[in-house]
Amino acid sequence: MTNDKIALQLQPKEYKSAVKPVWCPGCGDFGVLGALTKALAGLKIQPEDAAVISGIGCSSRMPTYLSTYGFHGVHGRALAVATGLKVARPDLTVIATGGDGDGFSIGGNHFLHTCRRNPDLTYIVMDNQVYGMTKGQASPTTEPNWERAKLTPSGTGINPFQPLAIALASGANFIARCSSSDSNGTARVLMEAIRHPGFSMVQVLSPCVTFRPEQREWKRSLIPAPEDMQRTPDPAEAARLLMTDEGVYTGILYVGDRPVYQPKLKSEIDNIATLDEEFRL
């Protein structure tokens, strides 16, 4: 449907819907909403040609606040919905959004296999290291000694999940980390992520000011990866950036050239009655 259309240059705000977000004031997800609208405007993607797909969580509310097509499904299944849509409709720009619980806990299996399958999707995970929507339980990315969750009052005692290292190992084709407080920087990364073929995994550290107010200070612990190390096509170099103890790097940490999953949708027969032959005795 994109073919003969002139792409209109819209303003970022034209990618927002009229629905007012339910998010708490100061929630990092506002920054991601802003960054995503800037990226869509920057790429001149028409709202009707994009679909934003999510599961359940505060961050998963994203599609409702956009003027694109959207799908707000069940908890943990955004990537499966997005994969089905992209495979059936390769002409669309398909973006999945959600939280760390949605993507790495209940949806963990889809995360692994979507990385591995490598369809041309962009996945934005607003990581706040907590379950915001259900009011403050530990998530897979929560530190083991965080003791403020009533469900795990002595901390989880479990090592956090490393989404980007796992994405790299599982076959994702583009890996980046950003901070929701840097809306323009995030928008630039998202533009590259959307443009890059295959599965682009973008972790946006997005504070939950309500259940993890200390995350307001988060940005201080983030270090932009050195420019010459960003966009490495070498998985081993990328792994060093992702797994180092030197600090938490932001930027585009891996850009691969892995084969993209997109079956051809071209009919080989003109008449469906041809199928009858197989059954005829």
Partner 1 sequence: MRFQSLSIALTGSGGSGVMTTGSLLLEAAGRAGWYGFMARSAGPQIRGGEAAAVLRIASEPIESHDDSFDLVLAIDPGSLARFLAEIPLRSDSLIISDAEGGRRGDSLPDTPARVIDLPMKGLAKTVQAGRPNMIALGALTKVIGLPLAPMLEILEKILKSKGADALESSWNCVQEGYEAGAELPVLDGPLVNTDISADRWSLTGNEAAGLGAVRGGIRFVAGYPITPATELLEWLAGTLPKVGGVLVQAEDELASVNQIIGASFGGTPALTATSGPGLALMTESIGLSVCSEVPVVIIDVMRCGPSTGIATKSEQSDLDIALHGLHGDAPHLVLAPTSVTDCLFTTQWSVHLAESLQTAAIVLSDQSLGQSKAIVERPADVSFMARRVVPETFAGEYQRYAISESGVSPMSIPGQAGGQYTADGLEHNQAGTPSSLPEDHYSQLEKRQRKIHAFEFGQHWADLEGSGETAVITWGATTGPVREALSRLRERGENVRLIAVRLLSPERPADMAAALAGVKRLLVVEQSHSRQFHRYLRSAYDLHPAVKVFNRPGPLPFRPNEIIEQLHNWGQAD
CB of 23 to ligand TPP, least distance (A): 9
CB of 257 to partner 1, least distance (A): 23
131 binds, among ligand SF4, partner 1, ligand TPP, none (CB under 5 to 8 A by kind): ligand TPP
Q: Residue 119: left if φ>0, alpha if ψ -120 to 50, beta else—which one?
A: beta
**228 in helix, strand or coil?**
helix
User: Could you tell me the CA-to-CA distances from 181 to 36, 97, 239, 252 in Å, in that order?
Assistant: 13, 17, 25, 17
The correct pick among 37, 68, 180, 250 for binding partner 1 (CB under 8 A) is 68
Nearest residue to 48 (alpha-carbon basis) of 40, 36, 59? 40
User: Could you tell me the CA-to-CA distances from 166 to 31, 53, 108 in Å, in that order?
Assistant: 25, 22, 11
251 binds, among ligand SF4, partner 1, ligand TPP, none (CB under 5 to 8 A by kind): none
Measured from the CB atom, the residue of 2 and 244 that comes closer to partner 1 is: 2
Measured from the CB atom, the residue of 43 and 209 that comes closer to ligand SF4 is: 209
- Distance (Å, whole) CA 189 – CA 252: 7
- Distance (Å, whole) CA 152 – CA 143: 12
166 contact partners, CB below 8 Å, separation of at least 6:
111, 112, 115
222 binds, among ligand SF4, partner 1, ligand TPP, none (CB under 5 to 8 A by kind): none
Measured from the CB atom, the residue of 150 and 264 that comes closer to partner 1 is: 264
Residues that bind ligand SF4 (CB under 6 A): 23-24, 27, 29, 58, 128, 132-133, 208-211
Q: Indicate the pairing of strand 93-99 with strand 69-72.
A: unpaired
**98 in helix, strand or coil?**
strand
139 binds ligand TPP (CB under 6 A): yes
User: Scanning residues 253 to 272, which ones bind partner 1 (CB under 8 A)?
Assistant: 263-269, 272
CB of 41 to partner 1, least distance (A): 15
The correct pick among 13, 26, 44, 109 for binding partner 1 (CB under 8 A) is 109
Per CB under 8 A, residues contacting partner 1 are 1-2, 17, 19, 46-49, 51, 53, 61, 63-64, 66-74, 76-77, 80-89, 91-92, 109-110, 112-113, 263-269, 272, 274-276, 279-281
